[in-house]
Chains A and B, each alone.
Chain A
Amino acid sequence: MKTLRVKDVDRCIGCYSCMLACARHVFRSHSIVKTAILVRTRGGLQSKWGIEICRGCTEPACAQACPTGALTPRPGGGVIFKKAKCSRCAACVDACIARVIRLDDESYPIICIQCGSCARFCPQEVLAMEEQKNV
């Protein structure tokens, strides 16, 4: 299975289309607050962009840290999130080295499902879905 990759961050124009696509398709929200991908400047708009994505770990630390089994490894990389099992302890937030997991207004983690909506709506081909090597 494919996972998300940042192919060329230097092409990013900061349009946020990826974040809006994630909010729209995955979280059925209009807001970029509900998105599992984060596009940010590194210090004002004169700087370069940084893009935080779920790195699709094959041995995901967030799942290992999850005490309730709400997060489990996804075949091919990344995790599967079962909201019903989540105790909202935020252990996954602390475990993620990519610092991409945040909590929503109800304190549930916002988790990437590796669907590729963000890549499909990137006008600059900054993002792509690719098979993980060495899996």
Chain B
Amino acid sequence: MFEGDFLRVLNIDLEHNTFSVRERPDLKPYLGGVGIATKLMLENAAWDEDPLSPTQPIIFAIGPLSGIFPLATKVAAVFRSPLTGEWGESYAGMRAALSLRFAGYDAVVIKGRAPKPTYLRIDREGVFFRDARGLWGLDTEETGRLLREWEPGRGHRSTWRIGPAGENGVAFAGVNVDTFRHFGRLGLGAVFGSKNLKAIVVDGTKSYPIQDPKAYNAAYEKIYTEAVKTPRMAKYHQIGTAENILRLNRSGSLPTLNLQASRFTAAEAVSGETFGAQSLTRILSCTGCPVGCIHVGIYRRPHPEGYGYISTTLAYDYEPIYALGPLLGLDTVDKVYALLDTVEATGLDVISTGVVLAWATEALTQGLITESETLLPLQFGDETGYIRAAEYLAAPPNEFYRELGRGLAQATARYGGTDFALTLGGHEMAGYHTGYAFLLGHSVGARHSHLCNAGYSFDQKHGAAFEDAALVEYLIEEEEWRNVLNSLVICLFARGIYTPEATATALGAVGVAVTPEDLKRVGREIFRLKWEVKRRLGFSLENLRVPRRYFETPSGSGPLDPERYQQLLALYRQRLSEKLGMAL
């Protein structure tokens, strides 16, 4: 956007080691981020082919505020998900957005399969295809270290890489970004692996003059001041998102022991407060964010031979603690870290790993599977089995772990146990058993995530006392607006600061003239386009099933009733069809 009245799209062909840059004025109405990525997906998806087919695209995109406004720190990734078979959408922060901005690209489209393991260097000159045979098989940390040492660009470079899980096609493998952040959830790591793509190093060294310093400085400082000098962002900086452990536990919304309970007796021991007091060693920021929400703790344990200590630093948040703590009955900080260490190194998605292992534990107890499948005992509260099982997930030694690595929707088709498989819309659940809005929102959201529309927030505010229409309107409107934030690729923690008015002012200050109403219209249009992709990839609201477990274990809003859920779903479907002007 700084080089002319167009967006710059970098197209990379891994099969032929070629690239080209296209100037696209037609993409400007879609802002950037997930907006333009959706348009590019419509242009590039191989509709009838497997998610791991070489012809499928990986699309990365940033927005007009990326790298130049506080908290506009993320990169959107769009792909066909190997986990759900449909829409894949993921976000990562740290230095990713700033590096891509100053490398000079608004979006990157990667297609094809490299003939041998490859990593890419993307910079202002274009793309360099590098031999990654020596990196194949290495974990995410060692891969990151070697790339840091080999590639120039210290300080304005970002390193995105997969571990063995991505190489082996685990359907919920992620991509580790700059050690402490990830493109997680819907399996971007497996798509990397299917393309023989081990890593991408993005180096951003361009410089762009500020066109209107007065307007830009005023808009920048207003947002910066709100982030730093008001209490609005304090919770993210202080205890961090992990403060949710005790909050959700108090309201009976904390999924525990594969959601056999919604309160964890040892919640205090794995709370954000305890993590902070026992292990927090430093706080970090994504580049360009003054908040500092990344909590890095130290996992310290005695050397097994008794000589000295071994220490590892790991970033924690609410979701990793939920998935590897209460959900698996792991009841100490060190047990959570021990498993998280393996998840990080192998490049698995942390939430899905916790959920599939929780299901496997219960399936083993019920006799649906035996130790001949799991190869070891899995017991709630015992981290040693889970660590080995996570290693098996990343590098499957048998058919069972291969199936489990395809996700629970796939594994239960073979082994049964759908009633207690914690998936919503085919995606392993995030950590909120708050009520109907979460349950519905997670199921119907574009990426089947609590981040699509924050249903948990509605539940926490209204509990059981709500009008059905109000709940449905909330979910739709929230998702529409999040499509705007995700197109500007602003961190969703900052959604209270980037109101429609503040967002329009920020955009105006860098020459993108829009009104708050324009933005809302674009949000709805992007929502519609996503649904166009989802439908073409085979998703239907008709096929949604919710496991019985959600209705057996009381939520934070009290017991949930399957019929009420179905009524809400029917109403959602009707209202969304009306609003988007398409039959759903």
Contacts and interface: CB of A to CB of B under 8 A. Distances in A.
Interface in A71-123: 104-105, 121, 123
A33 interface: yes
A119 B224 CA distance: 14
Given A30-B210, A123-B228, A24 B217 contact: yes
Q: Chain A interface secondary structure, helix, strand, loop or mixed?
A: loop
A46 interface: yes
A96 to B, nearest CB: 17
Nearest to B145: A44
Contacts of A61: none
A125 to B, nearest CB: 11
A40 B220 CA distance: 23
A39 B290 CA distance: 14
A52 B155 CA distance: 12
Interface string A1-26: 00000000000011111001000110
A14 B208 contact: no
A114 B207 CA distance: 22
Given A33-B102, A45-B180, A105 B207 contact: yes
A56 B290 CA distance: 26
A129 interface: no
Interface in B134-189: 144-145, 148, 154-156, 178-180
Q: Interface size class for chain A?
A: 20 to 34
Contacts of A15: 285-292
Contact of B292 (A13, A43, A104): A13
Contacts of A30: 2, 67-68, 207-210
Nearest to A16: B287
A44 B209 CA distance: 29
Contacts of A124: 292
Interface in A16-59: 16-17, 20, 24-25, 28-34, 38-41, 43-46
Nearest to B205: A33
B535 interface: no
Nearest to B315: A45
A16 B72 CA distance: 13
Given A17-B224, A31-B102, A45-B284, A24 B216 contact: yes
A38 B288 contact: no
A117 to B, nearest CB: 10
Contacts of A31: 102, 204-208
B102 A16 contact: no
Given A20-B288, A33-B156, A123-B228, 8 more contacts: A14-B284, A17-B70, A29-B210, A31-B204, A33-B207, A43-B148, A46-B313, A123-B290
15 contacts: A15-B288, A15-B291, A16-B288, A17-B70, A17-B290, A20-B288, A28-B210, A29-B208, A29-B210, A31-B207, A32-B102, A38-B155, A44-B148, A45-B180, A46-B179
Interface of A: 13-17, 20, 24-25, 28-34, 38-41, 43-46, 104-105, 121, 123-124
